[in-house]
Structure 1
């Protein structure tokens, strides 16, 4: 009974702390180190007491198994979105419960004092981290059409990557999705939570059945009558006499299902008209990320692969044409693994939440939910690696790199993504003082890491998906030769499903690029105008 009560409390309590970790995998190592120290303090306390040893030791053992499994590959462990969510969830809520379980014990003082000291010096996730990691899991679920039971089991696209989620993990995730009014995703996670709870040794105890009754109310309020009825029948089968009050609820639910009742939050919160996430364009983007949309064979047959010889004396690079009009090309093995790792090391101490230009058109930038990553900017003269990136882009494109923005190194975290956008600025964009070099004529992306699953660069209108390949360079023009926006170049960073995605962005402005890409006598933008207001 004590164990059942303890695990139920784990699902219900939350911890408000500081920091942002969900938008980049780079900071998760700090959370892992935090949990290592917290685990040591809790073990010390458990060794001094006996009253709560059984309940607390079971939790310690479960976490330690994860740490031991992660020891052989800490990066693989932290780059898994399920593992990252569970790590954040434990530090966000479970450890607060451990503290609460000892507040009435006479030997608690040493433990609580030690915890207070640790909290002043260690990294803890914030509420934003917890919510961000929960949203990221549902983003992966939706984008890649993942099955909830498989995702909860640590299976991503049919591959077993990490430790399975507990019923408490699934419940807390469902609870937060409910708070976010994402009821369509709430229902399957609550269903998975209750299924896992049924499978526990204490799943038939009264405390667990009380909890299931509470979850019935969630389902009834949302209008998920089938899920509510399934739970009611399960509880009644185990305690028919003690739970006779549920007989009326069962009859009501059966009548609602028979009548096809559509009342409830699920049916009152349909997406608003004009919601971008319900648009044909967004569906195309998700299809490209899943590999379901690709250029027609007739458009691919003229594509070529060839060797491109650098004017700077480097060995020839392998150039692959990915699309002809607009031109999109990828150069392979442009930079080596040492330079890629050097750029990551340079960026790690300085990265912070990535921002986007404000839609108000006033030149300001702000963090946005449609772009979850962290980045840092550097002048190309920073070191040999940054200079090399500038030299290669300038050499390949012929563009004047004096008018390139600072290099931006970015890392994508749990389900990290950047929804479809243009790199070029709209006609009403306000250029700030000192930023008068014109629009972004071209974009170059260096992939600084491989990504095990997901994380591709998607062009929904072409349609084209580019898989990250460490050391390669992706290049395209954002503008027509007339200087008008080429709306076909709208692109996105697909959510990272497994792994850590590091890139380096190079944006080149149009000032003094006439010798390389002279302006056409005719504007020629009609070919892409159709995609400006695509629905």
Structure 2
């Protein structure tokens, strides 16, 4: 039970640390690396404290052992022991001065003070997660659950799609996650995490102690409020089996059995939680998730028209390895186009500069960018001439497409963190977009995405309307046109970054504008956008 109490104390301490800091880390793996370094330092600090108190404890234990040995000896004949003047002197001396000395050593022990002072300094100088990080991570886990249809028990055990990646979660981890999901009103995900928490708690050696049973009673109230009567009844039965004297639970059990028998559906789980027209309940969003899971793919007929080929470079003696992924709209992936050395350099250059990725404000009138929950990553922008490796990225796109890279936007390098994603969106601007006076290069005619790292699971680029999933293959480039020949938006090119399930996803985004591209990609004489119009308002 002491372990249970200590865990609660540690949790409170961690929450205090979270509340006292203000950075954001969950949205990129580069940010998480800072937190890992913080924990390494804190672990060393705690080890120093433990070593110091261990030495103190060992010294006190030695004194205790010596006195107990003397008491064991005295126990054979107390009167004989106490009538011995040496023994009497030693007993009086210990109680007169030794025990004051023991108290003084405990009172004067500086280990605790040193540790707390060191921790106070670390809180000022090291990286700690914020409440937003904590909530963002909880949301990311549920996003992965929903997108990839993961089982809470497997996820808690460190399994991702049948592969063991990490250590198992404790019952406290599962409870805190469930508690935060409850506060976020995500009741459908609250239930499995509370259920997993209770199952893990029941397996503990202290599960039948009163404090644990009290805790289970508190969880029962969560289940009742949500309308999950089956789980509530299961906990009631467990607690009563351990402590039948909890008579107040008898009435609750009877009420729950009655509700289950009558099939009553009430509580937070059964209320309408999403507003009508919510995008996350739409057919389009479900289609996106199906593509991310690999359940929906392009037709076999359309796949037969695709081919892999070698294309001689326009700008060098290189030969490009092209794989056609889709014909109309044309999507192509170029393999092995970026070396491992250049990928490492690009990541190294970007790390100190990345900030939370932004999106254009929904009204598109102010031309302002903001952080949004539907895009969780960190990124930084660079001029192509800043480094040779960046110039190579520009050259490769020009080589592949023939487009004028003088009309390209700044290179963006981005890193995705826990469950990092970018929900379905178009790269080109809508018709009502207001261009600033100094932004005369027009709309985004084409997009290139370089994959700068291998992603172990998830993290693909999904095109829901094609439906196509591009695997983030390290060192490759994916390229497509966002506009029809007429210059109209091709609504079929809506795409998304599927949540990263395992690994660190690094990409480089290249966006090329329309200006000066008319000689390279001439406009058609007639509008050719009819084929994509059905996807403009697709729901």
Q: How does the TM-score come out when normalised to structure 1? A: 0.88
> How is 1:251-266 mapped onto 2 (pairs within 5 angstroms)?
251-266=254-269
Distance of aligned partners of 1:453 and 1:330 in 2 relative to their CA distance in 1, 3 Å threshold? same
Q: 1:358 aligns with which of 350, 356, 361?
A: 361
Contact 1:12 1:172 in 2 (8 A): no
2:308 alignment counterpart: 305
1:80 alignment counterpart: none
Moved more, 27-36 or 501-510: 27-36
Deviation per residue, 1:192-212 (Å, 9 max, x gap): 001111111111111111111
1:446 alignment counterpart: 450
Contact 1:276 1:282 in 2 (8 A): yes
CA distance in 1, matches of 2:153, 2:112: 39
Q: Secondary structure at the match of 2:524?
A: coil
Deviation per residue, 1:284-324 (Å, 9 max, x gap): 00000000011101111111110011022232111011000
Report the number of matched residues.
485
Q: Offset at 1:432?
A: 1.6
2:231 alignment counterpart: 227
CA distance in 2, matches of 1:269, 1:218: 18
2:419 alignment counterpart: 415
Q: Secondary structure at the match of 2:309?
A: strand
CA distance in 2, matches of 1:42, 1:388: 47
CA distance in 1, matches of 2:167, 2:410: 40
Contact 1:11 1:171 in 2 (8 A): no
Q: Secondary structure at the match of 1:325?
A: coil
Q: Offset at 1:270?
A: 2.9
1:480 alignment counterpart: 484
Structure 1: unaligned runs, 5 residues or longer = 54-101
Deviation per residue, 1:203-251 (Å, 9 max, x gap): 111111111110001111111111111111111111112x121111111
Larger C-alpha radius of gyration, 1 or 2? Answer: 2
Q: Secondary structure at the match of 2:516?
A: coil
1:114 alignment counterpart: 118
CA distance in 1, matches of 2:259, 2:437: 64
Deviation per residue, 1:337-372 (Å, 9 max, x gap): 101111100100000000000012110000000000
2:285 alignment counterpart: 282
CA distance in 1, matches of 2:317, 2:275: 54
> How is 1:135-284 mapped onto 2 (pairs within 5 angstroms)?
135-241=139-245, 243-284=246-287
Asked if residue 377 in structure 1 is aligned to residue 377 in structure 2, the reply is no
CA distance in 2, matches of 1:523, 1:52: 84
CA distance in 2, matches of 1:347, 1:11: 34
Moved more, 3-12 or 22-31: 3-12
Q: 2:328 aligns with which of 325, 328, 335?
A: 325
Asked if residue 315 in structure 1 is aligned to residue 304 in structure 2, the reply is no
Q: 1:38 aligns with which of 26, 38, 42?
A: 42
Q: Offset at 1:50?
A: 7.0
CA distance in 1, matches of 2:272, 2:115: 46
RMSD, matched Cα? 1.8
1:426 alignment counterpart: 430
2:6 alignment counterpart: 6
CA distance in 2, matches of 1:51, 1:206: 34
Q: Offset at 1:517?
A: 1.1
Q: Offset at 1:512?
A: 1.2
Q: Offset at 1:396?
A: 1.1
CA distance in 2, matches of 1:261, 1:29: 48
Structure 2: unaligned runs, 5 residues or longer = 58-105
Distance of aligned partners of 1:5 and 1:382 in 2 relative to their CA distance in 1, 3 Å threshold? same
Q: Secondary structure at the match of 2:386?
A: coil
